[in-house]
C-alpha cells in the first residue's frame, strides 16, 4: 500500500490501482531487505523471486531517485554539518563511515528531548 500511495502521489492520480508492477516493486523491496539481513534470496524461503528489470532507468525506484535535487541536498549537508555539536558530529562520522565501509551495525541514539536527534537523523538521511 505504501508503494501504491507513493505512485498515486507521484502521478497525482488517486484512481491508480494495484498492478503487477506495484506488487513486483514490493517483492523487490522485501527481497532487498531479506538479502541485507540474511544474505539469502526469497526463493530460498520458498517464495517467488521478483522480476528485476535489466533496464534500471525505467524502474520505479530510479524515477524517484531522479526527482531529487542533488545540488540542494549537498548544500543542505554542507550548511548543517557546521551546526552539529561535538557529540552529534561524532555520531555522524561513526555512522557514515560504517555505511561507507559496508559494515552491518546498529546504532541507537539516546538523548533527552530537544537535543538534536531528529536534526542528526535528517542530516544522515540526506
Label residue 57 by pLDDT band (50, 70, 90).
Answer: very low
Residues 102 and 57 occupy one common structural domain: no
Residues 75 and 100 occupy one common structural domain: yes
Q: Give me the chain's average pLDDT, please.
A: 85
Residues 42 and 89 occupy one common structural domain: no
In b/e form, how buried is each residue of 11-50, taking b as 16+ CB within 10 angstroms?
A: eeeeeeeeeeebebbbbbeebeebeeeeeeebeeeeeeeb
Q: Which residues contact 9 (CB under 8 A, 6 or more apart)?
A: none
Residues 6 and 62 occupy one common structural domain: yes
Which of 5-19, 44-58, 74-88 has the weakest average pLDDT? 44-58
Residues 59 and 75 occupy one common structural domain: no
Of 30, 45, 66, the residue at which a domain comes to its end is 66
Q: How far are the Cα atoms of 11, 106, 114 from residue 62, in angstroms, in the given order?
A: 15, 27, 35
Say how many domains are in the chain.
2
Range of the domain at 24: 2-66
Residues 28 and 53 occupy one common structural domain: yes
Task: Record the cell numbers describing residue 38, joined without a space.
Answer: 540474511
Residues 74 and 26 occupy one common structural domain: no
At 81-109, the pLDDT tens digits run 999 999 999 999 999 999 999 898 999 98
Amino acid at each position: 500500500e505504501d508503494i501504491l500511495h507513493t505512485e498515486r502521489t507521484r502521478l497525482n492520480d488517486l484512481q491508480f490501482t494495484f498492478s503487477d508492477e506495484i506488487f513486483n516493486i514490493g517483492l523487490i523491496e522485501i527481497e532487498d531487505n531479506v538479502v541485507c539481513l540474511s544474505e539469502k534470496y526469497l526463493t530460498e524461503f520458498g517464495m517467488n523471486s521478483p522480476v528485476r528489470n535489466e533496464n534500471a532507468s525505467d524502474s520505479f525506484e530510479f524515477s524517484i531517485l531522479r526527482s531529487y535535487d542533488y545540488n540542494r541536498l549537498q548544500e543542505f549537508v554542507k550548511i548543517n554539518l557546521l551546526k552539529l555539536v561535538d557529540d552529534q558530529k561524532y555520531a555522524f562520522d561513526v555512522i557514515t563511515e560504517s555505511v561507507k565501509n559496508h559494515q552491518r551495525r546498529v546504532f541507537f541514539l539516546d538523548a533527552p528531548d530537544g537535543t538534536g536527534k531528529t536534526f542528526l537523523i535528517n542530516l544522515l538521511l540526506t
